[in-house]
Amino acid sequence: MTPNDQLAYYKPELVVIPCGSRKLDHPARAADLYTGSYHRACRTAAEALRPDRLLILSARYGLLDLDDVIEPYDTPHGTKESVTTQLLLEQATLRNIVRLDPVIALGGARHVSLIHSVWPHALTPLTGTRGMGEQMARLVALRNGAVS
């Protein structure tokens, strides 16, 4: 059994999904701001997992609750202005969520790397995919309950 097989057995305490480059052009709730198909697919899959808590990892703001109202931005992960592992750890500590388990990280390699800096044990069901097409297919499988 691989660590990701645990998805079939445990209800996650936390799922963290990526932000997205496509956004509304005005301030909005984080739940509404990101409009891209990849973000939406991650969110739909995350919601199907029925986590106790769902957060968005924003490249600019860090960990966001769905109801947090934020300004649109254009900051990709890995740039000088983007969120750091130190900031994520501080935010998780303030929210008292560092010790949650299980944690699931949906997203690409940069996203997962940041999540692992706070939750090294986080399950990463998109790891091993070879591109966006495979990630989208796996997100659909997660949404439909068929974890591969």
pLDDT at residue 139, rounded to an integer: 95
What average pLDDT score do residues 45-61 get?
Answer: 96
pLDDT over 80 at 8, yes or no: no
- CB pairs under 8 A, 24+ apart, for 97-102? 97/14, 97/53, 100/13, 100/14, 100/52, 100/53, 101/13, 102/6, 102/10, 102/12, 102/13, 102/14
Record the pTM. 0.91
pLDDT band at 9 (very low <50, low <70, confident <90, very high): low
pLDDT over 70 at 112, yes or no: yes
Please report which residue ranges of the chain form alpha helices under DSSP H: 30-33, 37-48, 85-94, 109-118, 132-143
pLDDT over 80 at 6, yes or no: no
**DSSP class of 7:** G
pLDDT at residue 78, rounded to an integer: 82
pLDDT over 50 at 12, yes or no: yes
CA 145 to mean position of chain CA atoms: 18
pLDDT over 60 at 1, yes or no: no
pLDDT over 60 at 28, yes or no: yes
What average pLDDT score do residues 95-115 get?
Answer: 94
Phi, psi of 105 (to 5 degrees): -110, 115
Site of tokens 């966006």: 132
